[in-house]
Structure 1
Amino acid sequence: MTFTLEQLRGFVAVADELHFGRAAARLKMTQPPLSRQIQKLERAVGAQLLERDNRRVTLTAAGTAFLTEARRLLTLADTAPELARRVSSGASGLVRIGFTAASAYGVLGELLNDLSRELPEVDVDLTEMVTREQVAGLLKEEVDLGLARPPFDEETFGSRVLHREALLVAAPVGHRLLALGRPATASDLSGEPVVMHSPTKAKYFYDLVAGVVPIATENIVHTVSQVLTMLWLVAAGRGVAFVPASAARLAIEGVGFVRLETPTPEPVELHLLWARDSKNPALWRALAALERRTDGT
């Protein structure tokens, strides 16, 4: 047997007033139906909740314990419709964000601050993922929003440019490239040992660098996928590396930076990425809140 919300409200009123007459008046009903509600509730619970006689009403030990849960259930019942409306509108809920390691160098924190300020009741769950993992996660509905590198399937995914930045050459402190006083060119880098991006795990950066600087295979001393790893190898004197300008914020000891001459001043792009058919209302509210950050600047 189950109990109803009306029975719970009747029980809480009697527990508050410790008097059936006053409780009935508070509920705008007569005393006999209130008494029947309590009896039905006790049968459903399987325990006596109230001691009553002609002079007084008291709570049993079971009634005292049940009162706490009854109040909690009534609070949930009262707030659930509003919560459902807020989740449906996107004002509450959860947005799961996948992000590349390099996007955490400043951009991610600013984005999270914007979301916290604009949508304080939306929770955010973070997962570090390379772009191809984000694409798979969006397709499987494991994440809602990505901070990823292009290109993307435009029929399946929506995207906006979140951030653009320059491409830098990272070199050991004291290296001749750091004393150029101008952006480094492809000819300046001829013959330099290079810590290169992986053509599979960091394909975006590999293609970007290869399109600007022809690097001979024999000059590639290491191939890695993470910018932080590149910088530690540069600090150890293993070679030079090509990194986004935001990587300079890491301030790795023994590493200096010089801008790389590129056809466009800020060729490195980071995009917001989402599945066009997402059913998560909070995602669309998050995108609206972040719109001013995605003006391509």
Structure 2
Amino acid sequence: MDFRMLRRMAHFLAVAEEGHFGRAAARLGLSQPPLSAQIQALEAELGVRLLERTRKGARPTREGEALLPVIRRLAEEAKQVEALARELRAGRQLPMALACVTSALFDFLPPLVRALRDAQPDAAMAVQEMDTADAVEALRRGEVDFALARLDHDRLPLHVLPLGKDALVAALPDGHALLGTAGPLPLAALAREPLMLLPRSISPAYFDRQISACRAAGFEPVPVREVSSAMAQLAFVAAGLGVALVSSGMAVLRPPGVAFRELAGPVDSVGVALVWNGERETEAARLAVQVARQVFPQSEPAP
């Protein structure tokens, strides 16, 4: 696969996400005819039709929908290649690729990256946002050196260094009746509320901890919808479609339309851990472990 094909995939992705050739062209800084030509060239290379025009714009065909997740992953990896190459061109020496779950982007990632930069100023760093399941697979394949993910025990050959405990909080839409109550919210108060849940496949331990907490509070949670990311959870809560249990790290975002309530208990979540592959241990991974122990003094080996 050459970079021309990757570029065409990025063009297809833009149209699929925008749902409109004109908006995609504006986003890419192109006019519509060259964009259409790029999509046609990609369809010819792949031998399938990817997009169909509608009265409102454009949408992926059945074949396009099937290929969309793979193309999105390839496009993201191409961005990481470009970012890493840019860092190397700037004179940085040690390649360092890491993955990070959304809920760790604001409280765990910044201090770790700053400390890594201080310890190794010439590191060429590339960061990818991934859910735990994707991060685990990327580590197994050797695509990243280490990850910040939600795991609570080693999964050999993966090693886990817990960086800090976390608690679940309730995310409620503004104006929700439960916001009028005082003090920490009993988890049982959510028994009849439709929950926005992340799929178990994204992070089994995180999912199981939430379900177990609900059952311990005396109720079976009512999942109204599974969403693909923690950010999507908050967006749907803001729209009034339900409530969510999220990590306290997400509460720092304070998105409009969402209010957060501490839960009585508290209800522990699966904390964020530094994860690396012992069979593919790199210099970057060893440095990350060393630095993480200094930045997060409470870190300790997983049981």
Which whole-Å deviations, capped at 9, do the CAs of 1:10-56 have from their partners, x for residues lacking one? xxxxxxxxxxxxxxxxxxxxxxxxxxxxxxxxxxxxxxxxxxxxxxx
| Residue in structure 1 matching 2:236, options 225, 233, 237 | 233
| Identical pairs, percent | 26
The equivalent residue for 1:147 is 148
CA 1:278–1:181: 2 relative to 1, 3 Å: same
Which whole-Å deviations, capped at 9, do the CAs of 1:193-243 have from their partners, x for residues lacking one? 2212212224333211101113546x3221113111111111111111000
The whole-number CA distance in structure 1 between the counterparts of 2:194 and 2:284 is 47
Specify the SS of the correspondent of 1:183: coil
Q: CA deviation at 1:154?
A: 4.3
The equivalent residue for 2:251 is 248
Specify the SS of the correspondent of 2:279: coil
| Residue in structure 1 matching 2:290, options 275, 279, 288 | 288
Q: CA deviation at 1:165?
A: 2.1
Q: CA deviation at 1:106?
A: 2.8
Q: CA deviation at 1:286?
A: 2.7
Is 2:114 the counterpart of 1:113? yes
The equivalent residue for 2:263 is 260
Q: CA deviation at 1:177?
A: 2.1
Moved more, 142-151 or 278-287: 278-287
The whole-number CA distance in structure 1 between the counterparts of 2:295 and 2:199 is 30
The equivalent residue for 1:213 is 214
Amino acid across the alignment from 1:130: D
Is 2:196 the counterpart of 1:195? yes
Specify the SS of the correspondent of 1:267: strand
Specify the SS of the correspondent of 2:214: coil
Contact map agreement 2:133 2:201 (CA 8 A) in 1 = no
Where does 1:172-187 land on structure 2 (aligned, <5 Å)?
172-187=173-188
The equivalent residue for 1:3 is none
Q: CA deviation at 1:296?
A: 2.9
CA 1:224–1:98: 2 relative to 1, 3 Å: same
The equivalent residue for 2:271 is 269
Specify the SS of the correspondent of 1:248: helix
The whole-number CA distance in structure 1 between the counterparts of 2:178 and 2:118 is 43
Contact map agreement 1:224 1:230 (CA 8 A) in 2 = yes
Which whole-Å deviations, capped at 9, do the CAs of 1:254-276 have from their partners, x for residues lacking one? 110111234x5643300000111
Moved more, 275-284 or 93-102: 275-284
Specify the SS of the correspondent of 1:105: coil
| Residue in structure 2 matching 1:278, options 262, 271, 280 | 280
Q: CA deviation at 1:280?
A: 2.0
The whole-number CA distance in structure 2 between the counterparts of 1:153 and 1:210 is 22
Which whole-Å deviations, capped at 9, do the CAs of 1:47-102 have from their partners, x for residues lacking one? xxxxxxxxxxxxxxxxxxxxxxxxxxxxxxxxxxxxxxxxxxxx951121011122
CA 1:115–1:255: 2 relative to 1, 3 Å: same
Q: TM-score, normalised by structure 2?
A: 0.62
The equivalent residue for 1:21 is none
The equivalent residue for 1:59 is none
Larger Rg: 1
The CA RMSD over aligned residues, in Å, is 2.2
Contact map agreement 1:197 1:205 (CA 8 A) in 2 = no
The whole-number CA distance in structure 1 between the counterparts of 2:153 and 2:164 is 16
The whole-number CA distance in structure 2 between the counterparts of 1:121 and 1:276 is 24
